[in-house]
Structure formats: C-alpha cells, structure tokens
C-alpha cells in the first residue's frame, strides 16, 4: 500500500541554521507515528512543513500521492492539534468543531450530525454551547482534537498537545488519544519530547536529533535495541558501559569494562580485538542479590544510594574502578539487600551493543 505521507529529501534551513537535514520518511495509513526528540531537533518544523506553515528549502512532500510541497495550509487535507489548542475564544464548542466543516461547504444538517457524533466520542455532548474559557484543560484538549478531526483529514498532526496538562491528566489523555486513534483508524503524526508519551501511544517512533532521523522503529525495538548512544540515553534510563573487545566469536564477545570482564552479544557486528563498544544495560535488567549469581555476568558492588520510588527502589551501586551502576529493585527484594555489599548480575542477551563510531553526540 502507498504511504499517506512521504517526506522526500526534505531540507529546511533558516539562514545558516539547518533545522531539518535531508529527511526521508514514509508514514503508513492508520498508524500512530511519533516524532520524538529534544527541542530544536526539527520535529516541530517537520510537522509544520506537512501542515503547510513552513516551506521546505528543498525536497518534496507527498500527501496521499499528491505533491503538496507548495500548497497553502487551507488547501491540504491535514489538520493540526496545536500545543496551546488555539480554540477560537469567541465561538462555542460546537461552533469551533463546525468551523472546518462549514468551510468545506457541508450543509447545516450534515454539520450538526458530525458535530454531535464527535462530541459523543469524547463525551462532551453537554458542553456544546460552552465557550472554550468555560472548559477545563482536558476538555479543551478534547475539543481541539475533535475540531481537527471533524473535516476528516488524511493525517492528523499533533504538536505536543499534552504538554500543558498536569501529569495525571496527561497519562489519562495518552490512553484516550490512542483509543480515539484506534477507533477512528486515522493516521496520527504526533510530535513530542516526552519519551514516555512516545512509548505509550506509538506504533512507530521516529527519534530525531539535530534535524536527522536517529532511529526509527516500534517502541519495543527502540527501547530494547537502541541503535545509538543518543537513542539509548533519550529513551528510558540506561547504564552505558564503554568497553574494549578482548575476543569475539559469533554470538559471544568478551569485553573489558573498567578492568572487569563481561560478555555480551555483539549482534552481528563482528568486532575486532581492541575495538571499543558501548554496552547498553537497562537498570531493570540487572539482578541484585546478596549471594553470588550462578550464571551470566556478575560483579561485586557497594550500595551508595537508595532512592525509594514507590513501586520500586532505585539503587546506585559502586563497582570496581569507581563506576556507578543504576539498578532497579522490586519492593519484595529490597529487604534481603540490607548489607552494603551486594552482587549484581545480568544475562548477556538482555544487553545491546553499540559500536563506538555511532557514539558521537
């Protein structure tokens, strides 16, 4: 099937500053795709280019098979949910949602039907005649979403729409957004700097950095098999072990990390002796115990800091050579770790290896 959106060799610069650097991206219909990255990584610019509010310096944007690179925003079939919602303050909720439908030239009856249908979808039927100022943050968010969905766009663009909400409401809206996306079968292109949002909702996450795509894949892959140090650091918490290859054969590589010998799966890299690698070790992959583990990598350490986090406890453990490892311990296991001296162990297959040449940034 042909993708709904295609960015082809898109560049965008403002004077000397390059905001988007040779972006190539295809988005399949019906998917929830998230552009994730720190501020200034080019994610919002990419979204605004698709919305028609910025023109690429070079390259081509295809929407449903048509070249829309230079088509003005009002003539392309995409709609944006803005960060601050941008609801029209002088129009009621119903009028806001009807705005795009009126401009499409629908008759009153059809507009009315569509508006009620959408209000029902987010349970705001009783608020049709309220003004935006009379709504809560979450309700405004829903109205903005419905207003953008109303004209039935090919792609719905969401520009960090949850950033103005408090933590609890944001989590709730994440689930609601995903449910709405699944129910309507619309293609969502979501922009955020919040990795948790991205992991929760997306079918595909596109990690961007300095105007380029750093890595792209489903949430599981990005979390479990980050392709670069940037991605490993940006998504979730991580321990990065910069190691030197001692020997490598097939699936097993022996590495030297701070004078400690560990093993890891080089994942087809076939590294040579003396080459540097980064081992990505997630805190939850480390098993802390009082006794020495039998299998896998094992290191002796001293607990330097305990941080109680409710559903788990985070331990900062100092190992040989003074390096610190961040570990995550289940509440039921904390009790047996009363002594400062503990053993850390992990299975080699729970780690990922990143070649040093990808480690820049």
322 is an interface residue for another protein by CB under 8 A: no
Q: Which CB atom, from 84 or from 117, has the smaller least distance to another protein?
A: 84
Nearest-angstrom CA–CA distance, 355 and 278: 6
- For residue 47, the minimal CB distance to another protein (Å) is 11
- For residue 100, the minimal CB distance to another protein (Å) is 4
Check the CA dihedral 36-42-47-48 and report its sign: positive
Q: Which CB atom, from 86 or from 323, has the smaller least distance to another protein?
A: 86
- For residue 164, the minimal CB distance to another protein (Å) is 12
- Find the helix packing angle between 137-149 and 167-184, rounded to 10°: 20
| Residue 67, strand partner residues | 62
Q: Which CB atom, from 151 or from 271, has the smaller least distance to another protein?
A: 151
Helices (H), 202-325: 219-224, 229-234
Binding mask 249-288 for another protein (x = CB under 8 A): ----------------------------------------
Binding mask 25-54 for another protein (x = CB under 8 A): --------------------------xxx-
- For residue 145, the minimal CB distance to another protein (Å) is 13
Helices (H), 104-250: 108-121, 137-149, 167-184, 195-201, 219-224, 229-234
Q: Which CB atom, from 146 or from 177, has the smaller least distance to another protein?
A: 146
Q: Which CB atom, from 75 or from 272, has the smaller least distance to another protein?
A: 75
- For residue 99, the minimal CB distance to another protein (Å) is 5
CB distance 317 to 329 below 8 Å:
no
Q: Which CB atom, from 83 or from 233, has the smaller least distance to another protein?
A: 83
Largest CA distance in the chain: 75
Identify the H or E element spanning 307. Answer: strand 297-308
Binding mask 67-106 for another protein (x = CB under 8 A): -----xxx---xxx-xxx-xxxxx--------xx--xx--
In the region spanning residues 118 to 137, those forming contacts with another protein, defined by CB under 8 A, are 131, 133
DSSP conformation letters of 99-113: HHHHHTT--HHHHHH
The SS3 of residue 274 is: coil
Check the CA dihedral 12-15-19-22 and report its sign: positive
Binding mask 135-174 for another protein (x = CB under 8 A): ------------xx--x-----------------------
CB distance 125 to 155 below 8 Å:
no
Q: Which residues bind another protein (CB under 8 A)?
A: 51-53, 72-74, 78-80, 82-84, 86-90, 99-100, 103-104, 131, 133, 147-148, 151
């Amino acid at each position: 099937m042909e993708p709904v959106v295609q960015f082809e060799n898109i560049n965008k610069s403002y004077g000397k500053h390059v905001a988007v650097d040779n972006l190539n991206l295809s988005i399949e219909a019906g998917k929830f795709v998230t552009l994730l990255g720190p501020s200034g990584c080019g994610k919002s610019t990419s979204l605004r280019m698709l919305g028609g509010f910025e023109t690429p310096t070079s390259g081509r944007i295809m929407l449903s098979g048509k070249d829309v690179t230079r088509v003005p925003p009002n003539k392309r079939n995409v709609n944006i949910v803005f960060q601050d919602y941008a609801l029209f303050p002088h129009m009621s909720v119903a009028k806001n949602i009807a705005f795009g439908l009126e401009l499409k030239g629908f008759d009153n009856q059809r507009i009315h039907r569509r508006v009620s249908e959408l209000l029902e979808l987010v349970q705001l039927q009783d608020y049709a005649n309220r003004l935006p100022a009379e709504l809560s943050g979450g309700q405004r968010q829903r109205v903005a979403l419905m207003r953008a969905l109303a004209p039935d766009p090919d792609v719905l663009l969401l520009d960090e729409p949850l950033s103005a909400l408090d933590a609890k409401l944001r989590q709730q809206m994440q689930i609601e957004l995903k449910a709405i996306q699944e129910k309507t079968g619309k293609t969502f292109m979501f922009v955020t700097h919040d990795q948790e949002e991205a992991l929760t909702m997306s079918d595909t996450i596109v990690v961007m950095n300095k105007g380029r795509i750093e890595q792209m894949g489903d949430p599981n892959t990005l979390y479990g098999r980050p392709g670069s140090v940037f991605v490993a650091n940006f998504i979730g918490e991580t321990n990065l072990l910069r190691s030197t290859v001692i020997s490598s054969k097939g699936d097993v590589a022996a590495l030297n990390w701070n004078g400690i010998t560990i093993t890891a799966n080089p994942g087809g890299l076939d590294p040579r002796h003396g080459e540097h690698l980064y081992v990505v070790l997630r805190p939850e992959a480390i098993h802390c115990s009082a006794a020495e583990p039998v299998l896998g990598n094992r290191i002796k350490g001293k607990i330097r800091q305990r941080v109680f986090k409710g559903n788990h406890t985070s331990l900062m453990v100092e190992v040989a050579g003074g390096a610190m490892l961040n570990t995550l311990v289940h509440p039921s296991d904390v009790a047996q770790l009363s002594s400062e001296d503990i053993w850390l162990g992990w299975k080699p297959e729970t780690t990922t290896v990143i070649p040093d040449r990808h480690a820049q940034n």
